[in-house]
Structure 1
Amino acid sequence: MKGGSFSAVLAFLWCSVAFAGDIVHQDDVAPKRPGCDNNFVLVKVPVWVDHREQREFVGIGARFGLTLESKEKRANQTRIALADPPDFCTSPTNKLAGEVAVVDRGNCSFVSKAKVAEAAGASALLIINYRTELFKMVCEANETDVWVRIPVVMLPQDAGVALKQIMQNNTSHVSIQMYSPKRPKVDVAEVFLWLMAVGTILCASYWSAWTAKEAAVEQEKLLKDGSIDEDACQSTGIVDVGVASAVFFIVIASCFLVMLYKLMSYWFIEILVVVFCIGGVEGLQTCLVALLSCFRWFRTASESFVKVPFVGPVSHLTLAVSPFCVAFGILWALHRRHGPFAWIGQDILGIALIITVLQIIRIPNLKVGTVLLGCAFLYDIFWVFVSKWLFHKSIMIVVARGDGSGEDGIPMLLKIPRMFDKWGGYSIIGFGDIILPGLLVAFSLRYDWLSKKTLKAGYFIWVMLAYGSGLLVTYVALNLMDGHGQPALLYIVPFTLGTMIGLGKKRGDLKHLWTRGEPHQPCPHVAPAQQQQHQQ
């Protein structure tokens, strides 16, 4: 397909994942009361055999009990012992001498198990879940005495099985540590992700404006020469979004998001990876050809074409660049799970895809931009917050994390590993958080250039600053909410759209921006009625 059209359709669909956040544990609200008011925290549980660390598991702390140390050096290595009886719902046959009791979940409440362990002399309680997931341990409503003076932690079933296997295979000293490192308030990853998102829109906007300006100059020359060329008045490969298509896109994006949620699995992620590779490779090829064409050494190759079966005319430069792009996409797909720097390949393909889309898909005026971003604003809020009431889960967050797929998130995200976070994970941003506001930013620069406005008197610099500020506020909210995913468009849309509308009204340009948008030179071969219909 020409001009990255497949990339445009693909990424515009993938705007359905418009989400900024970290892939972290969800801390839903549970009833609190005295003695049962701890925050749910993730807990590191390294296992030591003869004072050598063998493995490390991740558990979750209970709503009750003693709080854990946050630093590894302060966490004691304590010997562990299997409980007898295994559920610890009745008094044990033997007393414990400060060991960590390992018990099975079930048959009685969590507080009851903790009370038995505390009375038996255990220094902590490690509960093994009967499912391969973490469960938030809270106090029962009818329990009156919930004061527990030892820490209580739960491990998922697979971790529990592995821990018991280690204990059975080693009759010597087996001990564990339990501590809960605090997440940093701000990580360098968020700074780089902010720069990456802003830089992507900046590059895409200038490419879009430069293309529009070149087309306007060429059209003006033809009009002065009196030439009539049907193709001269049409931007090849450019797709203008209308009001109806903007609304239709949000509906399709919602359906696509629900489909991702319902079909989320290992094999479905594999299909998405293949599709992402195709779109990313096409986007990377388009960007590289456009970049290399700016240099005179490659200009001849970019202007000479060869006819390829089933494809049509293709430049020699495209043929030369394509194998490298395909090889890059294949290498990323093969090593994305195991390579320590696989995220770099995903970001390169994603950025190239986004830039290509923002050059191909355009909003013709502020009215279309307002409808598109307004609908996206409501869409983001609904699928992050309101969907919890309907599906008992936040659909957007579940899809972004790739829950149930065995993968570390879906590929339609830009991500950077959290460098100074003991828990690791990634700071992420969805394509929609860049593409949708990016359409408005690119429109503002095209309007400024075609209207011959200076940087200060124009709209681009202010809308660009508004986008950066909105994204910054998103990360501030993310940190204030303890790492919970946030709908970025909740903050970005009011900043960008509000700035554009407010400035337009103040300067008296709002009516022109709303209806006509970018200045267009009328084509001599188009009837006046058709010109008016096109502008509307």
Structure 2
Amino acid sequence: MGSISLLSLLLLLHLPQIRASEGILHAVDDDFTSAKDYCITYNSTWTTLPTTYLNATYYKMENLISIWLCSRSDVPSTGLKDKAVVVMAGKCSILDKALIAQESNAKMLLIASKEGLPRPSENRSGYQDLTIPIAFVKYGDISGMEQALGRNIEVALYSPSLPLFDYSMLVIFLISVFTVALGGYWSGLSELEDLRPSSSLDEHEGGKKKDENVTFTPLTVILFVIICCVMLLLLYFFYKWLVYVIIGVFCLASAMSMFNCLSALSQHIPIGRCRVLCCNKSIEVRLLFLAAFCIAVSVTWVVFRNEDRWIWILQDILGIAFCLNFIKTLRMPNFKACVILLGLLLLYDVFFVFITPFFTKNGESIMVEVAAGPSGNVEKSGESYVEVPAESQVTYEKLPVVIRVPRLEYSAMTLCGMSFSLLGFGDIIVPGLLVAYCRRFDVRTSSSSIYYVFCTLAYAVGMVLTFVILMVMKMGQPALLYLVPCTLFTSSVIAWSRKEMKKFWNGGCYEIMEQTDNTVGEENIRTNEAQEAQ
């Protein structure tokens, strides 16, 4: 796959992955002798739940899954006073259901879903007086609850508190810093190869290697960000089709990236150097086996991509290779292009995360809606799910653009499946391009890797700052909001302190101009000396 196909996938690399707030429905029988827990999803900005069922208030459950509760005529004659009402999802807005339940003096609304557990998200601008807790629960859990506990059931909602620090954050930190540092170092080695005089035998191969690199100019950067905006909007409206395109492209791109990474290492292995003819080309046997291995790994990920228990390991390996190959292949020509790229992508994130909620119907940002996928809100499509005869085991496709590490200290929420700490590929690649430029600048100016080292340290500091804000605010953070200022500011300070800002800003263009000026100057000196000699 060519560079254009790889660049198209980069459009999605900085999408945040948004996860619904998860909690527990604690159900007990009428004499409190038997109890069971069930997973729920709720909107933490709408409802605050206690951290344990010991502090929760119990209400008698009223099972109304045979009705919609979309009009006051659906309220049974016995009333809903002081009850936890269970109704079906669909037909009308969940906020309309909650308003009817609250006006009927109900204390809790549970929405039974046959399509998994969606994320409650709607525009509450016209429901300021709505205070009743709203949560989604699986339809199958409600049916099994009565079989296990009888008809007289009391329920309470709670959400176990997350630990202040989870070791998965440390793993994410190590993966991201390692990938950025190694990608930058690899880009520097590539720069050294380009600067090394090539012999006549290596001239053709060296020219081919240079063609593999893609240089971003300032104009290319601006066009790239515009395409990002267009593609994000297309994903917002056509997610259920385009997600499979993204999965296919990632499968191909990650296989090629892994091949490029491992083939660079295989050059130091003295076995398998014999060549065979394939498609009228002479290819080393070890590269054929390596290509087959990389394709097999990528295909395995595609087949088992929704198996949370172990497939995250394969996705992370492919993701690391993908990021490394991008950082090495995409080249920023100068610091000016780096500032434009990182600055525009930062504005891009801020706009689509914080500004677009003012324009969408449900009050959610476009970035959140795309990241959450169709499982984010079943009400969005307006379809009716009550006619499904049994709970369908639907697995919603997710964009494969994150490093995923299971939360190691989140055992209380195992009812809701594995929970992951996530970091988008873009939070590695975008600052990594600046780190790679710093490394190449060190190589060209013999700066003893000072730009590379300090920019990598700045990236590490930005990641730590991201985790600190995450723990303080207890909500997902756009990492670029902290990584971009840290890396750009540090690089600028180093350039100013070394009085190399002009060189650093103009990059290779400055070197070419300087070499041209020197050549012209030398020619003028020779001409003057010749004239004086005559």
Q: Given the two structures, how large is their TM-score scaled by the length of structure 2?
A: 0.75
1:52/1:278 CA distance change after superposition, 3 Å: same
Q: How does 1:125-140 map to 2 (within 5 A)?
A: 125-128=108-111, 134=120
CA distance in 1, matches of 2:291, 2:468: 41
1:425 equivalenced with 2:425 (yes/no): no
Within the candidate set 286, 289, 305, 2:260 is matched to 286
1:199/1:10 CA distance change after superposition, 3 Å: farther
Aligned to 1:12: 7
Counterpart AA for 1:23: I
Within the candidate set 388, 395, 411, 2:400 is matched to 411
Q: How does 1:305-324 map to 2 (within 5 A)?
A: 305-309=275-279, 312-324=281-293
Count the aligned residue pairs.
477
Q: How does 1:506-525 map to 2 (within 5 A)?
A: 506-517=497-508
Aligned to 1:459: 451
Counterpart AA for 1:283: S
TM superposition shift of 1:390: 3.1
TM superposition shift of 1:416: 1.8
Post-superposition Cα deviations, 1:30-53, rounded to whole Å, max 9, x if no partner, equal: xxxxxxxxxxx7542145678363
1:212 equivalenced with 2:212 (yes/no): no
Aligned to 1:495: 486
Aligned to 2:525: none
- Secondary structure of 1:459 counterpart: helix
TM superposition shift of 1:397: 2.4
Contact 1:216 1:521 in 2 (8 A): no
Counterpart AA for 1:289: S
Counterpart AA for 2:489: G
Q: Given the two structures, how large is their TM-score scaled by the length of structure 1?
A: 0.75
CA distance in 1, matches of 2:256, 2:434: 24
CA distance in 2, matches of 1:85, 1:438: 54
Contact 1:43 1:179 in 2 (8 A): yes
1:480 equivalenced with 2:472 (yes/no): yes
CA distance in 2, matches of 1:321, 1:285: 7
Aligned to 1:70: 51
Post-superposition Cα deviations, 1:247-268, rounded to whole Å, max 9, x if no partner, equal: 1111122222222222111x43
Where does the alignment leave 5 or more consecutive residues of structure 1 unmatched?
26-40, 119-123, 530-536
1:476/1:517 CA distance change after superposition, 3 Å: farther
Where does the alignment leave 5 or more consecutive residues of structure 2 unmatched?
377-394, 521-534
1:191/1:519 CA distance change after superposition, 3 Å: farther
1:46/1:274 CA distance change after superposition, 3 Å: farther
CA distance in 2, matches of 1:107, 1:499: 48
1:180 equivalenced with 2:159 (yes/no): yes
- Secondary structure of 2:400 counterpart: coil
1:401 equivalenced with 2:410 (yes/no): no
Counterpart AA for 1:490: L
TM superposition shift of 1:109: 8.2
1:271 equivalenced with 2:245 (yes/no): yes
CA distance in 2, matches of 1:441, 1:294: 26
1:54/1:323 CA distance change after superposition, 3 Å: same
Contact 2:258 2:322 in 1 (8 A): yes
1:51/1:137 CA distance change after superposition, 3 Å: farther
1:521/1:218 CA distance change after superposition, 3 Å: farther
Aligned to 1:201: 180
Aligned to 2:530: none
1:385 equivalenced with 2:359 (yes/no): no
CA distance in 2, matches of 1:483, 1:408: 23
CA distance in 2, matches of 1:415, 1:343: 6
CA distance in 2, matches of 1:55, 1:518: 62
CA distance in 2, matches of 1:187, 1:420: 6
Aligned to 2:34: 51
Post-superposition Cα deviations, 1:277-334, rounded to whole Å, max 9, x if no partner, equal: 1111111111111112223x34x62xx5544328x55332210111111111111111
1:140/1:42 CA distance change after superposition, 3 Å: farther
Aligned to 1:189: 168
Contact 1:101 1:125 in 2 (8 A): yes
CA distance in 2, matches of 1:176, 1:44: 10
Contact 2:503 2:510 in 1 (8 A): no
Deviates more, 1:194-203 or 1:332-341: 332-341
TM superposition shift of 1:401: 2.7
Contact 2:35 2:149 in 1 (8 A): no
Counterpart AA for 1:472: V
- Secondary structure of 1:338 counterpart: coil
CA distance in 2, matches of 1:519, 1:227: 31
Counterpart AA for 1:193: I
Aligned to 2:226: 251
TM superposition shift of 1:271: 3.0
Counterpart AA for 1:433: D
1:402/1:55 CA distance change after superposition, 3 Å: same
Post-superposition Cα deviations, 1:219-248, rounded to whole Å, max 9, x if no partner, equal: 4xx5xxx99957757724122221211211
Counterpart AA for 2:305: R
Counterpart AA for 2:248: V
- Secondary structure of 2:134 counterpart: strand
TM superposition shift of 1:426: 2.5
Q: How does 1:345-364 map to 2 (within 5 A)?
A: 345-364=314-333
CA distance in 1, matches of 2:321, 2:202: 35
TM superposition shift of 1:414: 1.6
TM superposition shift of 1:174: 4.3
TM superposition shift of 1:463: 0.7
TM superposition shift of 1:411: 0.5
1:58/1:48 CA distance change after superposition, 3 Å: farther
CA distance in 2, matches of 1:130, 1:201: 42
- Secondary structure of 2:441 counterpart: helix
TM superposition shift of 1:210: 1.4
CA distance in 1, matches of 2:66, 2:353: 44
CA distance in 1, matches of 2:358, 2:123: 22
Aligned to 1:532: none
